[in-house]
């Protein structure tokens, strides 16, 4: 998720001793225009390519120039990415204006061309995956696009069960994913509006998909993937307490402070707290206290207070 799930967050969420339960992560989207990006761009988005992580990360590309996407995908595969993912779902105005993301949902031929060129450009051993929404203005192009993506040689399809026009507004229309799943042979992974274990079971029932992609729900409940795994296996599960989350929040702030330009200080922390406050009242109080601050010492002091005064 652009603006919040960087490698620091992926590591925190994937840490097997803590939250865990995640099979695979995806980078924030990397925008491709008409040229091949330098290695450092991919490493910056996905330092896990350097090989020191114990979880897998697919590298996600976004753009509409099939030739350039293919060249970048080849480079990403050469850098050792376990899979290349193509974003056909981003609803952001600036992204769509530049012909990237969800606006391509109205151009099935181009989606086909992009996926097939990318598939041809990377070794057969590197999976190519794609992410779509149900359509652009209407929920109407999902079957056409899904079939084109499969025919073009993709290995898996992620479906965010809303149109671009639906934005991020509930509900997610999981039933449509069931139609796609029945029409395709490749694995289909359901996405959208899974905030709880109960949502997971409802999504599974309506879509027929066992596998799901978690977005905001995982940021709101960092142990959601593990809770889903436990519930699927009929095992009991003890949720993470705020004390455990708070230390990770602190770590995330420290890491992101030094990793990004000073003008963005605190942005990623605030994004995460925005989701955490849905689950933890303590995160809500913390968010309210720091939301207008861009001062590192001030935020640090408040975070220290959170950790040391409560526990
Ligand atoms: C702030 C934000 C950033 C996102 N960035 C990306 C992205 O870079 N790539 C992507 O495929 N989806 C991105 N998404 C979409 C999510 O991956 C997901 O498809 C969507 O939020 C629906 O799932 P959810 O209801 O579980 O959050 C983003 C969503 C949000 C809210």
Is 157 domain-assigned?
yes
The CATH number of the domain holding residue 165 is: 3.20.20.70
User: What's the 54 CA to ligand 1 centre distance in angstroms?
Assistant: 23
Domains contained in the chain, number? 2
131 lines ligand 1 (CB under 6 A): yes
Q: Cα angle vertex 4, ends 306, 14, to 5°?
A: 80
Judge if 164 and 62 occupy the same domain.
Answer: yes
Q: From CA 29, how far away is CA 182, in angstroms rounded?
A: 28
Judge if 262 and 170 occupy the same domain.
Answer: no
**pLDDT tens over the chain, length 311 residues:** 999 999 999 999 998 555 568 999 999 999 999 999 999 999 999 999 998 788 999 999 999 999 999 999 999 999 999 999 999 999 999 999 999 999 999 999 999 999 999 999 999 999 999 999 999 999 999 999 999 999 999 999 999 999 999 999 999 999 999 999 999 999 999 999 999 999 999 999 999 999 999 999 999 999 999 999 999 999 999 889 999 999 999 999 999 999 999 999 999 999 999 999 999 999 999 999 999 999 999 999 999 999 987 65
User: What's the 91 CA to ligand 1 centre distance in angstroms?
Assistant: 10
Residue 124 contacts by C-beta under 8 Å, 6 or more apart in sequence?
none
Does residue 90 have an active-site annotation? yes
Q: Cα angle vertex 7, ends 267, 136, to 5°?
A: 70
Is 17 domain-assigned?
no
- E strands within the chain? 25-26, 30-31, 57-62, 84-88, 128-135, 156-163, 188-191, 212-213
Domain that holds residue 107: 23-213
pTM of the complete model: 0.97
Tell which one of 215, 221, 267, 271 to mutate to probe ligand 1, the residue whose CB is within 8 A of the most ligand atoms.
215
Is 219 domain-assigned?
no
Residue 277's CB is within 10 A of a number of other CB atoms, namely: 17
Closest-lying ligand 1 atom to the alpha carbon of residue 195: 26
Is 293 domain-assigned?
yes
Is 13 domain-assigned?
no
Judge if 116 and 256 occupy the same domain.
Answer: no
214 lines ligand 1 (CB under 6 A): yes
63 lines ligand 1 (CB under 6 A): no
Is 189 domain-assigned?
yes
**What end-to-end distance do the CA atoms of the chain give, in Å?**
31
Residue 198 contacts by C-beta under 8 Å, 6 or more apart in sequence?
none
Is 139 domain-assigned?
yes
Contact present, 27 and 58 (Cβ < 8 Å): yes
User: What's the 1 CA to ligand 1 centre distance in angstroms?
Assistant: 5
Judge if 124 and 252 occupy the same domain.
Answer: no
Is 258 domain-assigned?
yes
């Amino acid at each position: 998720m652009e603006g919040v799930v960087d490698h620091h967050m992926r590591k925190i969420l994937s840490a097997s001793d803590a939250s865990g339960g995640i099979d695979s992560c995806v980078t924030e989207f990397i925008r491709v225009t008409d040229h091949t990006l330098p290695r450092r761009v991919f490493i910056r988005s996905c330092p896990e390519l350097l090989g020191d992580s114990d979880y897998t990360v697919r590298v996600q590309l976004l753009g509409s120039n099939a030739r350039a996407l293919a060249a970048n995908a080849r480079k990403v595969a050469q850098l050792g990415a376990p899979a290349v993912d193509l974003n056909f779902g981003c609803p952001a105005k600036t992204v769509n204006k530049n012909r990237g993301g969800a606006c391509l949902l109205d151009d099935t031929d181009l989606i086909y061309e992009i996926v097939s060129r990318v598939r041809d450009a990377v070794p057969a051993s590197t999976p190519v995956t794609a992410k779509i929404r149900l359509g652009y203005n209407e929920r109407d192009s999902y079957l056409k696009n899904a079939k084109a993506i499969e025919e073009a040689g993709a290995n898996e399809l992620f479906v965010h069960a809303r149109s671009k026009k639906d934005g991020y507004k509930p509900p997610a229309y999981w039933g449509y994913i069931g139609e796609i799943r029945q029409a395709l042979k490749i694995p289909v992974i359901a996405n959208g509006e899974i905030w709880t274990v109960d949502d997971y079971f409802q999504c599974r029932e309506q879509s027929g998909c066992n596998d799901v992609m978690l977005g905001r729900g995982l940021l709101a409940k960092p142990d959601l993937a593990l809770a889903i795994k436990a519930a699927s296996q009929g095992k009991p599960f003890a949720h993470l307490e705020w004390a455990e989350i708070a230390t990770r929040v602190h770590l995330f702030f420290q890491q992101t402070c030094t990793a990004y330009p000073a003008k963005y200080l605190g942005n990623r922390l605030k994004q995460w707290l925005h989701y955490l406050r849905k689950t933890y009242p303590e995160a809500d109080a913390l968010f309210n206290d720091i939301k207008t601050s861009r001062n590192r010492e001030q935020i640090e002091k408040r975070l220290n207070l959170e950790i040391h005064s409560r526990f």
